[in-house]
Structure 1
């Protein structure tokens, strides 16, 4: 069994045996077969590596195909034709209204999803863009460390492609207007998309990003954007007079970026860099308004229509992005703001920020506040993270870009006082007219009480004045943590209701003259709120037609915003062709608009059914989350199933007992979802729907079938279920089955493994993991049977293409990894016993291996069995010695036979993790 075809065929045969033996596990049996061949010498780790490489290429090809299918067509002329078909020609005023406000704000975030190496990302993007298929040249190499600088560079590359794609769309809109309204087309100021990023500005949950990182990144973005403006204008006219100002401005920004990329820990060095930035300089640009006006005026008077379009396209880019690659989002945690505001208005700690009194107190403090000046010295010495962010924003607005507003996102924001605290600091540093404070609703509590929060906040006169000054009310809703805590289906429905409550609160408080900006942060996987079936579903999942109609009926302008997270999200913009295809699909679907003249969706009419259904799914998901069985199974391998995929590394527990008691709340949303993928069952997407329909399958099935929203829910669940395998979940538990290890050398088979299997059996006889996985698999199976009965009443609108091929590919990958784990277990237990050293015993090392803390285990084994010794011949001594006699220098064999194979097997298992994620379509 040295080819994928052979393994796939064998797995299919093994599946046939489940008909006669329902408890038979094909995945574990295939793993056992592979393990026996490996231990007998029938196959080697080289053979397994070749198999994995073959599957890696196939999985990358699957991902490329999914990417292409989602945004097809890819060709530029096809996208131009697709957009052209949607452009109306009758009314210029309506045309302007349609295209002079963003259909979507796209935010390029740095969530840890940089699973693919740059070579793999490029190979996937190349195939998806119509180029050469993925080949094996991009697999098996070293994974580069994912640093903050790397994340920022990838984000900027994605935004650059998005900018070029947007400019092509803008140029097409302008050409269309010039053709149909030749006398007035130059009045058009297209702005179909805005772009933003929080890479380098997101301080929620991390302390490794310094203020100088943020300033340095913003300056480098300014330099890059100015250079791109210069290149665009040079292409239009190499002798354009504005180049004499824009070229030096780009050079100046690049110089300042280098200043702030240096080590500024020395006050003297900081003083030099800061003084250069704050000093007057004819090359220093803080606004592009004069250049935009000049380009627009030139276009209006230009007889050459194509040149006029090009000039206005450049002006549109400047209007959209300002002096940066896009807008920026700072993010802090509510607790950071609470600590900061207490220092200012409640140093004794007597004020309850959840109370009405706190709101009254903050209102008074804000109204009496006098703005304070700040400088880079104040920024350098400020200890509070939250205050430091506001000072950094003040410096950016004062010295880098005075026009582009800045978003301040507040994570875990559950009280109106938290938003007012942010307004306090914005006013304190004189930037309240340029900062959009945006609370994040993502936890179960925040979603449950978010309506009350919005009612109270929007009723505050001081907030109303601020919203009118900014022209928008901004909120953020998150699908990742919400999907983790209440399940993806209930999370989506809860977020939808919260969005509806925002529309009500805006209307009830007379704020319909301001826009509602709703930032929906989701990932690329179905477990993080990205609908996998088609682009229309993907956009509707984050902001449903029902939600949009609530704003439209109230006369509220809607500004939808979504995230493209990390390496997964940047793939959509990894080539100019993909970026244009993605933006064209969005432009054609027009997510900022909705049709009011549609029949009522029965999902919202039959609330007697839909609300009960929602609550039952939510309750089922909660039971999983609070279940010791679920928690133990998900944390059985710690985070060892996963590659490092971001600059914010997930922190492992420092002691073994803590690993056994690891809480799911210690695992962030993306790793949690990724572990579910790797164990073979996206619990937080699938679980609970079958249970919720029990006893009324036909009635619930009819409701879901009649409802557009209901069918969308079902399409998501079917997509996840098509890749899920309860048998795989159970297979991982069998690794810890003492009876399996005791029986393996039974009747004289594998006699050479007798000692190892006996030791494993004895060690695992008290281990709880086999029972945990079996109980979880049983619970999932019962619910899956009920789900199957429900789905029988709902037509399958988008059957997964090549479903069985994908399932077998995942099954083979899982079997290969379980075989590798068995190899690791056997070798770990076969290492000769060593004396306790540094308070670590042999049993401790075994537990490290069983929880996939392989790096730690290998470090201990190498410490116990070194291959490098102090050499006596390095000393120049006159007295002779017969010691050492060389008897200690025999550990190379232990490394060769045990330590090195464990390391290699684990490395191969992580390559399997990447391949599985690619078949699922994203990491986590």
Structure 2
């Protein structure tokens, strides 16, 4: 450890010991004050703080690499391929195990691109090479570049490419095992151990910046890239097919380039569309003939050649003409607006009513399919209809074989799913589109069981499900974890999944009814504990969103499971950051297959003792809801706006608002991921921990017994313990003290900082009416009471504190490092506040006053504040030498040097300090293991 950091750890430990003498003493704030005093006297400067931040950044990056190593080891390819060498006794069982995917892996792009590409690469390299404690992961911070949809798509494709390579190695290993044991049967083997998919560029929920031609362009780019990789796989053993695939890749690349142009000109659009739809010898729309050719060639080839050919065929069968399958996503309101145009143009129906259901049902029965073209797509104004038109064009002209998912966000009524089916039938693509409602809102989780009962009772839906061979749902953990709490959300999702099994069984869609209909459950958690990623082990990570209890419900009903999970953004792509990491990730999945469950396993006590577990669940949820509706919680979470966070994605984290609304920002204005990220930055993962202790308050002994004897209960404990190991209520309280008028008035009181008297008094006067200090104190008090109940519960559970991964010494080191980071940031924020109030008074401009600029600084809208300050104090002026005027001038006489001193002494330090604040935010998120 860096010697200076070690000293700070020791100092923080010493300060913590003083809380025994004075319970209200805040060691984090005290350390921040010590930094602040040194900074304001010049004993240290921002360059020295930069050095400390760099050392702690290195620790954070090492922590990310250590987490990957802990969850994925071993990394050696040979060791991981051995996972796939165990075989059942007969070929039929072997084929049945691998012909259907163990998991669908979806590469999504929510705003979690926390690390720069160089940092992500260094972390992946360190984990791959086993150098997690050295300097391999430590990359000096570079200037953050703007994250665009294109950069997100490029990153997703790179991760998918590595996943494809890992899967190819697995498939080849499986073929080699099969040919050695079943020489007469192995060539009929068609393994698909993992499917890959993405929604990057196809997810329209919450954004308006993705045009239809963007999605078409991406699909063509993906097709061109995949055709080229197929050709490379076959270049040696099937050169003629490889040549055709290469020509198709080149042709597709040309089409992608055409769709990258501005197609607002009808003539250009017409030319582009006609070029894509025209017959061309190089055009391939289906891989079915190619797969048949490869299989026929394999019949007559030697074993090694046949293995290569069949491995390529397996990849084609899994991915189609793209890097993987694609997921479009729209919001339910977009679909409702679209269906109203078709069935209720006069807006007389309540779309949630039985009358609307009857109307949509009749329309669905009577719909006549319509063909459409790119012109129809270009002029369509409805987002939802535009997505179905885009899907029709993709299926006609890009990939006729690969199914497409249609995800519906905030879907709370069966009518919305039937509306999606209506449009799928209207455009003749219902046999290739899987409609999937998302259950994530509080209402959707509460009423989801009844929703599924009603939906699966619809004749048209059951006919559709049998045709597609699956019933698809999506369960979300981000918004659910924000509005319900992560533990109640996970338990509610678990019950909903069980209700799906019951509904399928009740409506004749189970294997025991002779129906070959799978249950495809897409769990869209992320990498953070706050978004449903269990940090303790790979087993916990895979069981948390789809528990053994829920799996058994499907197994017992004879329903095949198709589990699906998302790997979100930069955080998620790290799992596939190198070929070795990708293989290790898929190997750990194969060791803990989410499709498996023992139907004869004894019932976990957590589900048997529902008199306890349901009350426990409801009590946690009540506490979480209390925070959600509390003005105190909302004000604390939004006190700094989103200013503690880096931009981590191309989708906006919040809606635009003015200064007045900033002061009363609602939690619903902030998306789930930044909400969770703010909790990390303030030091306490409320949406994980809160309520767990209070829920057991009146029944500690029985709850402790239940949690300690139940596998599901132990899993809950491991999650809470992992979050609590990083949590600090003192840190939450410390941020409130920044707005304490008495603190600022008292700071120079003893004469120790006379040079700060004036700015401190200005801050003290300005903050006399500010509510944030009281807000943070109230929140910290509530959290402390709840935490005391949690500690009492933990004390009643033998070994509860040892229920998850890293050793106690590692946890304490991590806590101290986070504490030092928080103290440094508190000092930097004080530095920014002091500098801001020392900027000379300037006149109001564009309705922005000096007080508005100060409030921008306090809510960390620093870019806006700096812009206003620079407007008020410019340093660049037109020069008189720029003009060729005949008449002489003695003015300017050189006595006015402009505002360079104000820039140097006040404005630039604020900018430099804020850059360090954001870097500290990245380091803290790395210690938590993910952003948000």
TM-score range, shorter chain: over 0.9
Aligned match of 2:152: 151
Render the CA deviation track for 1:213-268: whole Å, top value 9, x for unaligned: 0000000000000000011111x42x632123212111111111111112212111
Aligned match of 1:810: 818
Shift of 1:875: 2.6
Q: How does 1:805-844 map to 2 (within 5 A)?
A: 805-844=813-852
1:400 and 1:737 mapped to 2: Cα distance? Answer: 62
Gaps of at least 5 residues in structure 1 are none
Aligned match of 2:636: 633
Q: Does residue 283 of structure 1 match 2:282?
A: yes
Aligned match of 2:555: 552
Q: 2:591 aligns with which of 575, 588, 593?
A: 588
Aligned match of 2:408: 410
Task: State the SS of the aligned residue for 1:765.
Answer: helix
Aligned match of 1:230: 231
Render the CA deviation track for 1:577-627: whole Å, top value 9, x for unaligned: 000000001012111121112111000000000000000000100000000
2:293 and 2:845 mapped to 1: Cα distance? Answer: 74
Aligned match of 2:696: 693
1:169 and 1:800 mapped to 2: Cα distance? Answer: 31
1:461 and 1:383 mapped to 2: Cα distance? Answer: 31
Aligned match of 2:442: 444
1:855 and 1:688 mapped to 2: Cα distance? Answer: 37
Shift of 1:667: 0.5
Contact 2:217 2:256 in 1 (8 A): yes
Aligned match of 2:170: 169
Shift of 1:652: 5.6
Shift of 1:38: 0.4
Q: 2:710 aligns with which of 689, 707, 712?
A: 707
Q: Does residue 800 of structure 1 match 2:806?
A: yes
Shift of 1:793: 2.5
Shift of 1:887: 5.3
Contact 1:57 1:135 in 2 (8 A): no
Task: State the SS of the aligned residue for 1:145.
Answer: coil
2:657 and 2:385 mapped to 1: Cα distance? Answer: 32
Shift of 1:5: 1.8
Contact 1:443 1:485 in 2 (8 A): yes
In 2 relative to 1, CA 137–776 (structure 1 residues): closer, same or farther, beyond 3 Å? closer
1:853 and 1:726 mapped to 2: Cα distance? Answer: 25
Q: How does 1:480-491 map to 2 (within 5 A)?
A: 480-491=478-489
Task: State the SS of the aligned residue for 1:3.
Answer: helix
Contact 2:636 2:776 in 1 (8 A): yes
Shift of 1:650: 2.2
Aligned positions, number: 919
Q: How does 1:667-678 map to 2 (within 5 A)?
A: 667-678=670-681
2:431 and 2:470 mapped to 1: Cα distance? Answer: 11
1:152 and 1:489 mapped to 2: Cα distance? Answer: 32
Provide the aligned C-alpha RMSD in A: 1.3
Task: State the SS of the aligned residue for 2:628.
Answer: helix
Aligned match of 2:116: 117
Contact 1:639 1:652 in 2 (8 A): no
Aligned match of 2:387: 389
Render the CA deviation track for 1:727-761: whole Å, top value 9, x for unaligned: 00000001001111111111211110000001001
Task: State the SS of the aligned residue for 2:473.
Answer: strand
Contact 1:617 1:691 in 2 (8 A): yes
Contact 2:225 2:323 in 1 (8 A): yes
Contact 1:222 1:324 in 2 (8 A): yes
Q: How does 1:344-359 map to 2 (within 5 A)?
A: 344-359=342-357
Shift of 1:188: 1.0
Aligned match of 1:679: 682
2:388 and 2:212 mapped to 1: Cα distance? Answer: 10
Q: Does residue 421 of structure 1 match 2:427?
A: no
Render the CA deviation track for 1:534-580: whole Å, top value 9, x for unaligned: 00100100100000010111111110000000000000001000000
Aligned match of 2:31: 30
Q: Does residue 852 of structure 1 match 2:860?
A: yes
Q: How does 1:366-377 map to 2 (within 5 A)?
A: 366-377=364-375
Task: State the SS of the aligned residue for 2:769.
Answer: coil
Gaps of at least 5 residues in structure 2 are none
Aligned match of 1:68: 69
1:810 and 1:705 mapped to 2: Cα distance? Answer: 30
Aligned match of 2:871: 863
TM-score scaled by structure 2?
0.97
Q: Does residue 213 of structure 1 match 2:211?
A: no
Q: 1:495 aligns with which of 493, 496, 506?
A: 493
Task: State the SS of the aligned residue for 2:106.
Answer: strand
**Which deviates more from structure 2 when the two are superposed, residues 264-273 or residues 896-905?**
264-273
Task: State the SS of the aligned residue for 1:436.
Answer: strand
2:135 and 2:395 mapped to 1: Cα distance? Answer: 45
Shift of 1:81: 2.1
Contact 1:31 1:819 in 2 (8 A): yes
Q: How does 1:518-557 map to 2 (within 5 A)?
A: 518-557=521-560
Q: Does residue 783 of structure 1 match 2:779?
A: no
Aligned match of 1:435: 433
Contact 1:2 1:43 in 2 (8 A): no
